[in-house]
Structure 1
Amino acid sequence: MCIDRTNGEGCYSLLSLFLCLLPFLVKSQMLTSTTTLNVTGEMKPWHKLTFTFSGPATDEAATPSPFSYYRLTINLTHIGASGDRTYTVPGYFAADGNAANTRATGGNKWRCHFTPPHVGRWRYSVAFRRGKNIILDPTLPGKSAGYMDGYEGEFAVKPSDKTGKDGRAKGLLQYVGKRYLWLAGSEEYFLKIGTDSPENLLAYEDFDNTPNHLDLRKQYKSHTKDWRKGDPTWNGAKGKALIGAINYLASKGLNMMSFLTFNVQGDDGNVFPYTSEYSFRIDVSKTDQWEIALEHAAQKGIGLHVKTQETENEFIHGNKHFIVRRAIYYRELVARFGHHPQLVWNLGEETKMPTSLLLAAADSIRSVDPYDHPIDVHTYPDWKEKVYPALIRSDTSKV
């Protein structure tokens, strides 16, 4: 079994782990002989920790679907003086664990991301369950999927060394019942200064499986010069232009960027997290590449305003399969990107969805989002009175 504490370049045995007094306690008897755990990331507040397990081998197109038949979650409990609090973090199928670079569609890697909000000791347990459409309800017990199911461990989080604009220094962006959102780490109100264009930011030629409908796919070539040595790329030297564009925005002092994650049938039609526009199977390599760019933005102090749909595709998931497909969509977004501290979920751009469906969508996101990120919605100017007052009167304070 291997545990990599920081950068993916080392592998520690349990013996060396204890001899070196690393702050990670492993109960290896809980893992099966065919399962390994690899943990990467800095163990500091608001830094991404990634738990990668070896589990059942499958594929994006497999039957049963790895996106609905298996449910991976980690329950992480902070052992603090003010009482324990548990965060339930959804996981996802990660193909070969390096799909951003290999373009793999299959493999046996399963992954969870967690950004601990507090220093101190953390205890965690893993649930890996299976069953038809088990992702629909986090409370469904299902059956054990074996492998890492039941695995437990502990780790310690030390104080952060990040300062300045780095998002990891500022902490979670929260709605606290006031006019402005609040940064829990730096304890200051957040005044949004960012871009709302291009809304098809992710329609980028260097992302896998991104079409060029209406010749609207982006290149960002003018920003290749803004890429710096040490900045991320993927699949060789891809991504430099978009990463450079993010550097440019950060250099101008912007702290938020807005973008769509799904605009099939919309103005652009080139952005979707699936293997094709209507497959409703997650494209693992493409979403991994999205994460590289979004993580870079977050570290540069740029928050993420995630618009989950356009008005043209509000019901694209179909009537018969709407609930299942929407549950998969929201869970996958949260599992793959919800660990970013400064993030806002937007239920839809120019939406005309009825209040009941907007609230149902918000509840679906909240049911799997351990950080309770702010949720908002956008509509047409002449629809404001039809959408917003009903939400304000509803039994919610966060939409």
Structure 2
Amino acid sequence: MKLNPTMRMLLCALTLTFSFSRIHAQLSITGDLKQYHKTTLTFTGLNVSEAPGTFLNYRMNVTFTSPGNEIYVVPGYFAADGDAANTSATSGDKWRVHINPDEIGVWSYVVSFRTGTDIAVSSDANAGSATSIDGTSGTFTIAATDKTGNDFRAHGKLQYVDKPYAQFADGTYFYEIGSDSPETFLEYGDFDATVGRHTFEEIVEYQDDSDPTWAGGKGIEIMSAVNYMASRSMNVQYFLTMNINGDGKEAFPFPSDTEYTTYDVSKLAQWQIVFDHMYNKGMIQEFALTEDRNSNWFEEQEGVGLHDFSTSRKLYYRELIARFGYLNVIYNIGEEANWENFGKGNDYYTAAQVEEAAAYIQALTPYTDLISIHNGPNTDFSIFSELTDLSGSSSLTCISLQGSYDNYSSGHDELNDIHDLAQNDGTNWVIRYTEPYYDSNSMIDLDTWTERSLWASLTAGGAGIHYNSNDGDISEDNYRLWKGFFLRMHYAKEFLTDNAIPFWNMSNDNDAISRGSLLSDGTDNYIVFLAEGGTADIDLPGSNNYIIKWFDPRNGCGLQDGSITSVNSGSAQSIGDPPNNPEKSWVVFIKKNESLSTNEEQELSSDFKIFPNPTTPGYINISGLHNDRYALRVFDISGRLLDITTVEISDNNQKINMGHLNSGIYILKFESSTKQAYSQKLVIK
């Protein structure tokens, strides 16, 4: 957690005290030592083994101070011999901590290592007594990241920023697309002490010789699954981290399904290798920490009240945060956790328990992570009103919504209702449609899913969507079966990013459209979804001119012109007819026509060149721009915006097709991902 200035001063004084009695512990610092890359500190300390006392009765926290004096208190963990993923060691003297450094420069650290009964779950910094490596301190230097593209090492931690959309440390906003299936992703036989439900053999050809493995080449198949997902532009995988009594029953962080305060160090180290690969491929892990059949499992094991907050549950949260908190993780407190199921009476997780768990996780993690809850069953959304009825604002920052897309309501109306509940409660939840169900008695239909799940949720202000294979979400691992759904999600995300649409500032505004659904910022940008095709009338404010473009949600292929290409402000303005197939679903992008200012026209870079210039219609060459994805706006000589697109400039791509432009004089404005703008005049003969 970050500390306020007063706590920071106290911590500085404490650090000075430590410096006089510093223990010179053996230490290795590993990683790339670059911004947004995993940095690991491994200390040699007490020699212990996997047993309840090791995890409950020792607590290692490391306080990091950034070059800008931000304070991060990061929980550490027992790492056995330091190489347990390969050796399957169950004992050793290595203690480890990870940090995701968001600043360039010199970082400092100081270790708190204390012992006492159940100290691991205590929030009292002075609980127990100091031992072993307590007081060890030092510094290390972080350089700039050298990564680009989807790799999270180019963007940093995903953060909650009190908006309906999450944001990376580098300022980029996130639209989430991925898979809810298989929920039993971690039931993979190459993990220690795991029954292997999944082989991922249908996609093993996606392995790469550079993929990390463990124990002499284990893990190839699950790495291939990650590679396949990344190749389809997916950026999240949802899965259960503990399902002992529920779906699958074979994924858990313990050595066996009868232990609940002993952690399998080698298994978790192997999980970490997979999760690191996902981070580098730009894929989030959504940890479904429990599900309805396990809602009160920890409390049952301890023999306490089912609605208590047991010691073992707190330890479970701590161990996962300590080992994986540096990654881009969504902490889902429970899948269908509020579902009173199977005639067990009060086995469900209450709203008060959800809030208590969310507050505990929020206090323990050093970052502003997404902390979520998942409703259940798919027709019951009462958990959200129960949460907002509690006193105070919610500690949750995120929602994992499930619902049936047999009708439009779950993915659109319910999402709108949850947004309203949260805002009335004084918060903004990042809501993703993570588990769109369909009626098991009907055939799954790609177009219906696209209309009632994907675009229904997007135009309601949803921050993303997952595909769920329904009956196959436990046993199926052939991702190729879902490639059509992945492609539709890719088209939607590409529509947002390629057209530089500021979706993070947009919200649902169905009242401004005569039919269909509408996402807008109320002034400049409007996304209309017509699930049944046809046309619509829209209310547009002010005294402006707007350009109208059409997008095919089934086939992608960029923006197209319909029967009307521009419209003025006013009430009930027709947007015209689609380019073709008027009976099919369409997306309409309506954007205020921009004028290029004199300053922008003169905004030239001495290194930036377009050649040949003048030229004939066709390809032009670019030089002097950094490798990046640019929003390209084309203006005529009077300053009227003609076209918006996205282009990728790299060492291997320095050409852009301008064959669609007629003879004339144009201004080309390139805007980088960091909002740097470069303009040049182009003459086409």
TM-score normalised per structure 1: 0.86
After superposition, the C-alpha distances for 1:60-106 in whole angstroms (9 at most, x for unaligned) are 126xx1111000010001132xxx22100000111111110000111
For 1:223 and 1:41, locate their aligned partners in 2 and report how far apart those are by CA, in whole Å: 30
**Identity value in percent:** 39
Question: Residue 394 of structure 2 corresponds to which residue in structure 1?
Answer: 396
Shift of 1:148: 1.4
> Which among 268, 290, 315 is matched to residue 328 of structure 1?
315
Report the equivalent of 1:296: 277
SS where residue 117 of structure 1 aligns? coil
Q: Distance in 1 between matches of 2:233 and 2:384?
A: 31
In structure 2, the CA distance between the partners of 1:28 and 1:170, relative to structure 1 (3 Å rule), is farther
Task: Report if the CA contact (8 A) 2:67-2:104 is conserved.
Answer: no
Looking at structure 1, the residues matched to 98 and 188 of structure 2 have their Cα atoms a distance apart, in angstroms, of: 25
SS of aligned partner of 1:54 = strand
CA–CA distance in structure 1, aligned partners of residues 236 and 136 of structure 2? 37
1:306 shift after superposition: 1.1
**Number of equivalent positions:** 359
Q: Which amino acid aligns with 2:172?
A: E
Match of residue 337, structure 1, among 321, 324, 327: 324
1:172 Cα deviation after fit = 1.7
Once the 2 structures are TM-superposed, how far is the Cα of residue 29 of structure 1 from its aligned partner?
7.5
Correspondence list, 1:120-199, <5 A: 120-185=105-170, 187-199=171-183
How far apart are the structure 2 equivalents of 1:383 and 1:133?
37
Alignment of 1:82-101 (within 5 A): 84-101=69-86
Q: Would you say 1:44 and 2:31 are equivalent positions? A: no
1:383 is displaced (CA, Å) by 2.2
Matches within 5 A, 1:192-271: 192-211=176-195, 217-271=197-251
Contact kept, 8 Å, 1:222 with 1:241, in 2: the verdict is no
Contact (CA 8 Å) 2:121, 2:318: kept in 1 or not?
Answer: no
Structure 2 counterpart of 1:146, one-letter code: T
Q: Cα 1:29–1:163, aligned 2, differ >3 Å: closer, same or farther?
A: farther
Measure the CA separation in 2 of the matches of 1:176 and 1:145. 36
Contact 2:119–2:128 (8 Å) recurs in 1 = no
Deviations for 1:275-329, whole angstroms, at most 9, x for unmatched residues? 1112111000001000000110110011111110111011111254652101110
Query: What CA distance in whole angstroms lies between the structure 2 residues aligned with 1:100 and 1:28?
Result: 37
Which residue is equivalent to 2:542? none
Instruction: For residue 121 of structure 1, report the CA deviation from its aligned partner.
Output: 2.2
Q: Matches of 1:139 and 1:248 in 2, distance apart?
A: 45
Indicate yes or no: 2:315 matched with 1:315.
no
Q: Which letter maps to 1:382?
A: T
Give the distance between the partners of 1:59 and 1:190, measured in 2 at CA. Answer: 41
Structure 2 contact 73–366 (Cα < 8 Å) conserved = yes
Gaps of 5+ in 2: 1-18, 339-348, 399-685
- Any gaps of 5 or more consecutive residues in structure 1? 1-26
CA contact (8 A) 1:134 1:140 kept: no
Cα deviations across residues 216-244 of structure 1 (Å, max 9, x unaligned)?
A: x1111222221111210111110000001
Q: Which amino acid aligns with 1:210?
A: T
Q: Measure, in 2, the Cα distance between the counterparts of 1:79 and 1:301.
A: 26
Please state whether the residue corresponding to 1:113 is helix, strand or coil: strand
Q: Could you tell me how far 1:391 is from its partner in structure 2?
A: 2.1
1:40-70 Cα offsets, whole Å, 9 max, x none, are 01121111111111111111126xx111100
Q: CA deviation at 1:377?
A: 0.8
Deviation, structure 1 residue 173: 1.1
Pick the aligned partner of 2:88 from 75, 88, 103. 103
Question: In 2, Cα distance between the equivalents of 1:61 and 1:266?
Answer: 25
Cα distance change on mapping 1:292 and 1:28 into 2, 3 Å? farther
Per-residue CA deviations over 1:13-63 (Å, capped at 9, x if unaligned) read xxxxxxxxxxxxxx898225xx3111101121111111111111111126x
Q: Which has the higher strand share?
A: 2
Question: Helix, strand or coil: the match of 1:109?
Answer: strand
Task: Specify the SS of the correspondent of 1:111.
Answer: strand
Higher mean alpha-carbon deviation, 136-145 vs 165-174, is at 136-145
Find the aligned partners of 2:21 and 2:30 in 1 and give their Cα distance: 21
Q: For residues 251-270 of structure 1, what are the alpha-carbon distances to aligned partners after superposition, in whole Å with 9 as ceiling and x for unaligned?
A: 11111111110011101101
Query: With structure 2 as the length reference, what TM-score do the two structures score?
Result: 0.51
Which residue does the alignment assign to 2:548?
none
CA contact (8 A) 1:223 1:242 kept: no
Contact 1:223 1:244 in 2 (8 A): yes
Q: CA–CA distance in 2 between the matches of 1:177 and 1:318?
A: 32
Query: 2:363, 2:283 → 1: CA distance?
Result: 26
Amino acid at match of 1:396: S
* Number of the residue aligned with 1:53: 43
CA contact (8 A) 1:70 1:145 kept: no
Q: 2-side partners of 1:165 and 1:58: how far apart?
A: 40
CA–CA distance in structure 1, aligned partners of residues 190 and 313 of structure 2: 27
Q: In 2, distance between residues paired with 1:325 and 1:184? A: 32
Alignment root-mean-square deviation, CA: 1.7
CA distance in 2, matches of 1:392, 1:231: 44
Task: Tell me, in whole angstroms, the C-alpha distance in 2 between the residues paired with 1:109 and 1:255.
Answer: 33
Kindly provide the CA deviation profile for residues 122-142 of structure 1, in whole angstroms up to 9, marking residues without a partner as x.
121100000000012222413
| Separation (CA, whole Å) in 2 of partners of 1:278 and 1:145 | 32
Give, as a single letter, the amino acid of the residue that structure 1 aligns with 2:154.
A
Distance (Å, rounded) in 2 between the aligned partners of 1:143 and 1:282: 22
Shift of 1:145: 4.3
Q: Secondary structure at the match of 1:52?
A: strand
- 1:227, 1:247 within 8 Å by CA — same for their partners in 2? yes
Partner of 1:375: 371
Matched to 2:360, the amino acid is S
Question: Which structure has the higher relative contact order (CA within 8 Å, separation 6+)?
Answer: 1
Code of the aligned partner of 2:81: D
User: Aligned residue for 1:30?
Assistant: 22
Deviation of 1:393 after TM superposition, in Å, equals 4.3
> Distance between the aligned counterparts of 1:178 and 1:140, measured in 2?
32
Question: Quick check: 221-230 or 389-398, which moved more?
Answer: 389-398
Q: Secondary structure at the match of 1:189?
A: coil
* Matches of 1:189 and 1:142, distance apart in 2: 40
